[in-house]
A and B are shown apart, each in its own frame.
Chain A
């Protein structure tokens, strides 16, 4: 009996063996965006999202806390599926540390799905939480929050849910939330990702 092993999972992923270098991560993001991503009309996308949010505001009688929660939970359901899409396209293996994870999220995931690259910044001393700063946000183009929503609604809260769901599927239990949003009059849009713990892979149940 003999086994052959290798560090890369697939032939197409031969370039992902050393994820340590952020240049490689950026290249993967750009290549996949260029060659393996079907593009749709940005306005259609923005307006579709806008109509979902506006419908939710109506359904919950402008209880914006509930709208935030609902957007988060919709995002979560997207995230747990989207991660498979992401892995199939990039063939990226598990990250060794949370710094690499942040690079992959910003340069690869956001690049592939939204064609934006939010800045990673504000690291905590323990390197287990960071912020993503969005210079542009395709979800909120054309949007101005009405007065009653501008204190409570996190318009793009679906993104938090997506990240939460996707990270959980690769065993990273995180808290994801918006800290500020230009729509609310803040100077920048900041999303915080905080690692609670790395979950253990499940083990097969012992034979009885």
Chain B
């Protein structure tokens, strides 16, 4: 099963997170309690990513497996990160990462009246995140197949 989804923007901020672990109907979106965990995940992925590029230039981190869970990550040239935590039964989630990037495109980037850079807009707050209900719904459909 999928445990959680995290999206980070180019300013290293978590702009979307969703937990699926509790129970799928009451999953937690953009939770305040997860803020520090988001920072830890960013730090871990950041270090591994830097490390893998250092060892082989042009190389990118794709997946990371531990004893209990697996991480799939997508990094775009614009420095948007999409990270999925899943159990060990999922081996290849990169197609779904691409789909989520397409959904981000459709519901966030193409939504011209919403700021694309959640931190640079006027009255930006530390906690500004993607809240579009259609985005959340579409993401659920991709992840809960």
Q: Interface residues, chain A, CB within 8 Å of chain B?
A: 1-12, 80-81, 83-85, 87-88, 91-94, 96, 169-171, 201-205, 207
Contact = CB atoms under 8 A, between A and B. Distances in A.
A36 to B, nearest CB: 11
Contacts of B117: 80
B29 interface: no
Contacts of B56: 5, 7
Given A6-B59, A202-B12, A204-B39, A85 B98 contact: no
A81 B109 contact: yes
Given A5-B62, A85-B109, A94 B77 contact: yes
B65 A1 contact: yes
Contacts of A8: 60
Interface in B93-123: 94-95, 97-98, 101-102, 104-105, 109-110, 112, 116-117
Given A4-B63, A8-B60, A202-B11, 12 more contacts: A7-B60, A80-B116, A80-B117, A85-B105, A88-B98, A169-B78, A170-B77, A170-B78, A204-B12, A204-B42, A204-B46, A205-B12
A18 B10 CA distance: 25
Given A12-B98, A203-B12, A3 B77 contact: no
Nearest to A170: B77
A203 B12 CA distance: 7
B86 to A, nearest CB: 14
Contacts of B58: 7, 93, 96
Contacts, number: 94
Interface of B: 10-12, 39, 42-43, 46, 48, 52, 56, 58-67, 74-80, 94-95, 97-98, 101-102, 104-105, 109-110, 112, 116-117
A104 B9 CA distance: 24
B43 A81 contact: no
Contacts of A169: 10, 78
Contact of A6 (B10, B60, B102, B109): B60
A84 B78 contact: yes
20 contacts: A1-B67, A2-B64, A3-B48, A4-B62, A5-B52, A5-B56, A6-B60, A9-B76, A10-B94, A11-B94, A83-B78, A84-B105, A85-B109, A87-B76, A87-B77, A88-B76, A92-B77, A93-B60, A201-B79, A204-B46
